[in-house]
Amino acid sequence: MGETSREQESEPENISEIIPIEKSRGSIIKNREQIRDLVEAPLLGACEELYDKNIQTFATSANKKDVEYNSLGYVIICFDTLSDKNKKIAKELGEIYKDEELNNIKIEIPLNQNSTAEEIKTYAESIAHKFKKQKMTWAPRYTLQDLRETYCDNEAQVDDFTGIYYYDPESKLFYVSEEHFKKSSEKIED
């Protein structure tokens, strides 16, 4: 009788029953709503909180594969985009490593066959609570010239891209979404 939404589906109670979502690594989150499609249920609340605090999460995992392979879930945060306060917090929680050109921090979450989704959720959210809200520095921004080069069209005008990107006429910059523009424009004291 119609499709059920993800909220209506009953979530597995045990971490060893959670099916991996394998499309999220490195995705640019355009809006908070999109997180639900990219993050497994036990880490969803933590990732939403990190996003609300303007912290860029690069990858996450807490599912049955993690139990089978190494008994560790994780949240990977882009270390280079953290405020100085959040860098100090992150260093206490995980290890920094280089991935291509970026420094990331991997915060490991211990799991085992008997770990419940609720336990992992509580643990992950306790980690997210430690971070402070910061200025959003990682939202991609593009000039008209950047997009002309990207789309190989030197004649393109602002209106040619407003169906794909959000345009701020004051700064003359394009953002991947209006939400990114608003979050980037917030006045936040460090």
Query: What pLDDT, in 10s, does the model give residues 36-60?
Result: 999 999 999 999 999 999 999 989 9
Percent residues over pLDDT 70 in the chain: 92
| pLDDT at residue 3 in the model | 38
What is the DSSP-derived secondary structure letter of residue 127?
A: H
Q: How far apart are CA 47 and CA 62, in angstroms?
A: 12
| pLDDT at residue 27 in the model | 74
pLDDT of 161 strictly over 50: yes
The pLDDT of 136-151, averaged and rounded, is 95
Mean pLDDT of the chain: 90
- Identify the H or E element spanning 149: helix 144-150
Q: How far apart are CA 87 and CA 103, in angstroms?
A: 11
| pLDDT at residue 190 in the model | 63
pLDDT of 10 strictly over 80: no
pLDDT in tens, 170-186: 999 999 999 999 999 99
- Confidence band of 188 (pLDDT split at 50, 70, 90): confident
Burial 149-185 (b: 16+ CB within 10 A, else e): eeeeeeebeeeebeeebbbbeeeebbbbbebbbebbe
pLDDT of 8 strictly over 50: no
Tell me how long the chain is. 190
Q: How far apart are CA 129 and CA 53, in angstroms?
A: 10
Domain positions in the chain:
15-130, 141-185
pLDDT in tens, 92-130: 999 999 987 889 999 999 999 899 999 999 999 999 999
Could you tell me which residues come within 8 angstroms of residue 44 by beta carbon, excluding any fewer than 6 positions away? 35, 36, 121
Tokens for 168, please give them: 């701020």
